[in-house]
Amino acid sequence: MTRPIACALALAIATGLSGAAAPAAHAADKKPAMSTAATQSNPLFADSPLPLKYPQFDKIKDSDFAPAFDRGMADQLKEVEAIANNPEPPTFENTIVAMEKSGQIFNRSLAVFFNLTGADTNDTREKLQSDYAAKFSAHGDAIALNPKLFARIKSLHERRNDLGLDAEGVRLVERYYTDFVRSGANLSETQKARVKTINAELATLGTKFSQNVLAEVNASAVVVDTKAELAGLSDEQISAAAEAAKARKLEGKYVIALLNTTGQPALAQLENRALRERLYKASIVRGSRGNEFDNTSIISQVLKLRAERAKIMGYPNHAAYVLEDETARNPEAVNAMLGKLAPAAVANAKREAVDMQAVIDAEQKAKGQPSFKLEPWDWAFYAEKVRQARYNFDESQLKPYFEMKNVLENGVFFAANKLYGLTFKQRTDLPVYHPDVLVYDVFDADGKQLSIFLADMYARSSKRGGAWMNEYVSQSKLTGNLPVVANHLNIPKPPAGQPTLMTWDEVTTTFHEFGHALHGMFSNVTYPRFSGTNVPRDFVEYPSQVNEMWADWPEVLANYAKHYQTGAPMPKELLDKVLAASKFNQGFATTEYLGAAMLDQSFHQLPADKIPAAKDVIPFEVAALKANGTDFYAVPPRYRTAYFSHIMGGYSAGYYAYIWSEVLDAESVEWFKENGGLSRKNGDWFRAKLLSRGGSEDAITTFKQFRGRDPQIEPLLKRRGLTTP
């Protein structure tokens, strides 16, 4: 997953329309002027003096954010009013470029604040997020629904091909016009007023949803009384569970923390079936059990408001509105692709279940006990047994070869050096917001600094679930900025003194997120609106998925897959087993993903008068899974609706994007293999034709410039083992 859009207007539009907290207006002009001392002491009021404008984490206090938001919004509104009321005829420079330069304090404050609320939140930051959500939304609306400003943009749009602009300039005019129209600039005043109200309500509801999800992930951690119940976990995992219990003042007990997915990692290892069931059930009821974190009412309200706004905008539903601006273009295209994949995926999952049921039956017979039916909490445990039997290895054999920093530096960075000529140097002189964060200077092949990169790898209670990339500073020739980018993962931190040993999934996730980082680092555009990952949502995952291919590329793997104690390389036979098992359990993986992606579409393709009430959200989910053909009882969706953070945020009607992007990814992997794989020539071509372009060109056009043809689905079907029974 990638970062929020950086540009203030784009963030206002994108997050305001998705229902998450977004930039918006306020009443700063009603507050007393700040003293000169207060102004000088707030580090968010000016560009950071640190290299590449790296944030001054050691100087930024939580108390700095509200004044920075207030001043930033007030300043930007003044700038926008000056642009809108300029007596001179509209030109590209005095309107579009002026907009791109506006809101510097606001943009800077938002970038730091929203990145911190994701990576290291606290009560103060959560309250600020709640207090300002509606204000941010109103601020975005005050800009996007300014009739004088839109008139100037519309005038330029009508003459865009006669302004003497280069291709990026023409596209910027087109993008501004489209953004404003999609925000409601062509609506009547009555309709605009209603859209403003909806956006403010969605911003508040989205913030509350995300805070509920994080709070209940922490509150739902499973407490275990005895060490014996944890049989199957490693000594390090048991120690970490004991430390987690101690942190909660539960001395002598053990705590298994939850991730914000339906499946939980410990389910693959725990031998105690009753504990597996308890852990699974604790996971799936989150957000829908009638407590203070219940999200069903929020979901119903958000869906109704989104559907109403889509209708006002002239669309039959929210999905139609969202998808028009993606590469998919319409719900029919998304439904067709997901519908093509679902039957094959579920059929594969059912075959996998038969294999696991056979293992259960054999084990129970050997014990002289009656067998039992495979349940969702059994899947990961028995899948691992089948994997061991079929390929004669388990995940625990891999982990000693995947020490975290070695994976990062001698795996991820090594591949980037071979492909693109990049070099990395860790630095410890820059401040960080948490002691676990690593910071690196990134140098291009010519030795010039390209970027600063932050790696925030560990899970903690103040950090949202999942993995993502964000930017603190976005590249732009207009501003002269070079990128400051960060990757975030949620790897459990081992007890002090113990090595951080990663699973294969965590390794590939590290390569994936660095693919997003490369997309930000290699950005070579003029205007902030197009910087880095500011591309359609169903395209943004594509470059990061391509970067996963280097995790098991022989030359790369040989450089990092070394035993953390002895330095011995991973045995070739073990790697061969890993590669042979690459399609194993893909029925499950594809089915759980499609279940969530099709749920997203099912909810967002509803018209306003068909949205379920709070009490009907979960029954609708059950019915939708059945209607979509993804209701295989043993494989629940990767996210159930009440904790499906993606679709309450920037991926509303867009969770399909991962597999849509994977079509492009699978095609690109084939191209790399056809052209010799890991080489500077190939990397430089990918960088020049695609990674450097950001949103400055049509997304599919950049793909075709790189690949030389339209995308085809067959490589994806082959990769996921969906082409043969």
Residues with active-site annotation: 513
Give residues with Cβ within 8 angstroms of 677, minimum separation 6. 553
CA distance 498 to 511: 23
Nearby residues of 637 by Cβ (< 8 Å), 6 or more positions away: 262, 592, 595, 596, 599, 625, 630
Q: How is residue 664 annotated by DSSP?
A: H
* Spatial distance between the Cα atoms of 307 and 321, rounded to a whole number of angstroms: 9
Task: Compute the distance between CA of residue 456 and CA of residue 435 in angstroms, rounded to an integer.
Answer: 9
Give the distance from CA 430 to its chain's centroid: 26
All residues at 6 or more sequence positions from 278 whose CB lies less than 8 Å from its CB, including other chains = 222
Print burial letters for 444-471: b (CB count within 10 Å at least 16), e (below 16): eeeeeebbbbbbbbbeeebbbbbbbbbb
User: What does the alpha-carbon distance between residue 77 and residue 146 come to, in Å, rounded to a whole number?
Assistant: 10
For tokens 């499906």, what's the residue?
A: 644
Is residue 278 within 8 Å of residue 222, measured between CB atoms?
Answer: yes
Beta partners for residue 468, in sequence order: 488
For 156, half-sphere exposure in the C-beta direction (CA atoms, 13 angstrom radius) is 27
The 10 Å Cβ neighbour count of residue 366 is 8
How many Cβ atoms from other residues are within 10 Å of residue 708's Cβ? 9
Structure-block tokens of residue 74: 């007030």
Q: Of 641, 652, 640, nearest to 537 (Cα)?
A: 652
The answer to whether 549 and 556 have CB atoms below 8 angstroms apart is no
Cβ neighbour number for residue 27 with a 10 Å cutoff: 11
Q: What is the three-class DSSP state of 485?
A: strand
Confirm if 553 and 678 have CB atoms less than 8 A apart: yes
Which residues does 550 contact at the CB level (< 8 Å), separation at least 6? Answer: 411, 412, 415, 419, 511, 556, 678
Distance CA 579, CA 570 (A): 13
**C-alpha pair distances (Å), 153 with each of 604, 636, 689:** 31, 47, 30
AA letter at 184: G
CA nearest to 412, candidates 506, 498, 346, 319: 506
How far is Cα 721 from Cα 640, in angstroms, rounded to an integer? 25
> For residue 68, which amino acid is it?
A
**Torsion-angle region of residue 88: left (phi > 0), alpha (psi -120 to 50) or beta?**
beta
Q: Which amino acid is at 711?
A: P
Evaluate the CA torsion angle 227, 230, 233, 237 in order and state its sign.
Answer: negative
Tokens representing 226? 């005895």
Smallest CA-to-CA distance from 150 within 129, 173, 127, 170 is with 173
